[in-house]
Amino acid sequence: MAAGYTGNNNPAVYGNQPGTHNYLNSQEWSDFMLTKPSVFPSLIQRYGIQDLGIRSMLKMIPGFSTSSDGAEIRRHLEEDFIRGLVFVDAQGGGSAGDAVQLTVQNGNIGVISQTAPYIDAGNAALDEDRIIPRELDIVQFANGVYAVVTEVDEAYGTFTVIPNDETEAVPATTTDVGIAIIGSLAEEGSSPRESVSSRFIYYENYMTHVRDDWNVSTRAAGEPIWVKVPDKTGKLTDKWYAKGAADTYHRMMGYVDTMFLDGKPLTNPAIAALGGKFRTIQRGLGLIQTIEDAGNNQGYTKDNMQLDDLANLNFQFDANKAPTDHIVLADIHFRKDFSTLLAGGDGTIMGAANSPGRLVFNTFNGKEKQGLNLDMDYLTYMGYNYTVKQMQAFSDPNSLGAVNKYKGIGVFIPVGQTTMYNYNDSKTKVNVPTVQVVEKETDLGITGYSEWMTGHAPKFGINTSGKQELNFHYEYSGMLETFAINRFGLMTDGLSS
């Protein structure tokens, strides 16, 4: 700049600068940021790594297991009760001492995963999913009336009963109340009876394949940013693409977490009809969906959890011979209602005036610091022990927290590796995992997660194409396998009990 230059002294434009000088003043050009700005050298991750932590939480539960499998489909069999209820169509009752013909419902057995359990009665007309009594079986109705089965027609799924007592009548039946087979008779010199097999529950789940990629061009790789972020090796660097690659990995594994937790199979034929890439999509089933389909479900009213809500869940656990210890994965709303219930009572049993189950605040004495922990971390009720673990993943505003379904949810997961009712008996218990993550194993030696790079990057020794770029590739293949879903439970706001 020529000597004797007269600058514009308008402070609104250039500030209060000297009128004459012969060099570039750094203060004069500060608005143009020609020098490296003064920025704190570390990237502030205000939300942390943002992993949902669902797989990590499952791994901490006693009874969790991992394995690998080369197959795309994972299966196992579970034996149901050796006794079964008979469900019939709704109809009116009979007169005292009179015979009544009942029709067995079609398709009354619950479904676990994609395949229904069955009972093989030896006749295709029964669709192998209905339980039908045999002649001379003794049945008992919900009101206590006994009756003997006098005739069975398997072809039409009907049977006839006559009350044991001539003064009693076969009651009216409904579709949701089963009839118990509580005994069986045999005539003198009887012939072999038709055999009945125990019902087997066929569990099936599919590998879930998740993939993501991150591309860096040569020009993008040369663009600096004035904050240091860790690269793949942990070394601090100013290259923004290293952060992008890490974010891509964590984002993808977050998808794995959510699909393990609540993945739903693709059953809509319209998806398969699209063909192409949609023909090979797998349909893994998540833990919550599995419990909803075939586990123990109980609802409650948000901000008004009742002790009877827990009691009703306990009744289901007891009927299904579940173990007594559970860890409850809960969101903050469930945790709040759980703590409020136990601290203040439900207004009927624990919340009555002067009830010993209610917290009463009196005057605090002394000058020491004092406080009160209003969080209830565990509960023992009706012989069942529940330890609550709050999961922030349910509140993630850009993931599960955006779905109302997860507000006020409690997932009850049994503790321990057993399905036997007498699980504390070392002689008779049978140990199996509670939840198992099964990862894909291939002939290449890759199990579960894999990553690789392609492109043209001589510094990294990569030259798979002539295009000047670097591609990061991530892939995960795995599934969640749940054993004995009758041991699991789910409490959600608004779910009908």
Q: Select the more confidently predicted residue: 142 or 463.
A: 142
Above 90 in pLDDT, residue 299?
Answer: yes
Q: In terms of Cα–Cα distance, which of 284, 312, 311 is closest to 476?
A: 284
Q: What would the pLDDT profile of 181-203 be if each residue is shown by its tens digit?
A: 999 998 888 788 777 766 777 78
User: Residue with structure tokens 């997932």?
Assistant: 411
Side-chain-facing half-sphere of 217: CA atoms under 13 Å: 2
Give how far Cα 71 sits from Cα of 74, 207, 287, 295, Å. Answer: 7, 8, 20, 26
**Residue 352: which region, alpha, beta or left (left: phi > 0; alpha: psi -120 to 50)?**
beta
The per-residue pLDDT for 435 is 92
Q: Which of 136-145, 301-310, 424-433 has the highest mean pLDDT?
A: 136-145
Q: Which residue has the tokens 């389909």?
A: 293
Instruction: Tell me how far apart the alpha carbons of residues 304 and 317 are, in angstroms, rounded to a whole number.
Output: 22
Q: Which of 323 and 347 is assigned the larger pLDDT?
A: 323
Q: Give the residue with greater pLDDT, 345 vs 456.
A: 456
Q: What's residue 373's pLDDT? A: 75
pLDDT band at 146 (very low <50, low <70, confident <90, very high): very high
Widest CA span of the chain, in angstroms?
Answer: 131
Structure tokens at 359: 């917290």
The 10s digit of each residue's pLDDT in 69-115 is 988 888 888 887 888 788 899 999 999 999 999 998 875 443 333 23
The CATH T-level fold of domain 81-198 is M1 Pyruvate Kinase; Domain 3 (2.40.33)
As a dihedral over the C-alpha atoms of residue 297, residue 301, residue 304, residue 307, rounded to 10 degrees, the angle is: -20
Strand segments, DSSP code E, in 141-289 are 146-153, 158-163, 179-184, 200-206, 208-217, 224-230, 236-239
More confident residue, 23 or 419: 419
- Crossing angle of helices 240-262 and 287-294, in 10° steps, is 10
In this predicted structure, what is the pLDDT of residue 268? 84
Angstrom CA distances, 66 to 179, 337, 392, 433, 448, stand at: 41, 34, 24, 9, 11
Mean pLDDT lowest among 24-28, 155-159, 312-316, 453-457: 24-28
HSE toward the beta carbon, residue 318, CA cutoff 13 A: 11
Over residues 356-412, the pLDDT tens digits come to 555 555 555 666 666 777 788 888 999 999 999 999 899 999 899 999 999 999 999
Q: Phi-psi category of 229—alpha, beta or left, where left has phi over 0 and alpha has psi -120 to 50?
A: beta
Question: Which of 133-147, 268-282, 468-482 has the highest average model confidence (pLDDT)?
Answer: 133-147
Lowest mean pLDDT across 149-158, 348-357, 414-423: 348-357
Pairwise CA distance, residues 93 & 179, whole Å: 14
Q: Are 360 and 352 in contact (CB under 8 A)?
A: no
Give the DSSP letter string of 251-300: HHHHHHHHHHHH------HHHHTT-GGGGG------HHHHHHHHSEEEEE
Q: Does residue 343 or residue 128 have the better pLDDT?
A: 343
pTM for this prediction: 0.78
Tell which residue, 278, 95, 65, has the closest CA to residue 170. 95
Average pLDDT, the chain: 78
Domain boundaries of the chain, sorted by first residue: 1-35, 38-72+205-351+373-497, 81-198
Give the range with max mean pLDDT: 157-161, 167-171, 366-370. 167-171
Least confident of 40-54, 319-333, 428-442, 472-486: 40-54
Q: Measure CA of the first residue to CA of the last residue in the chain; give whole Å.
A: 84
Average pLDDT of span 328-335:
94
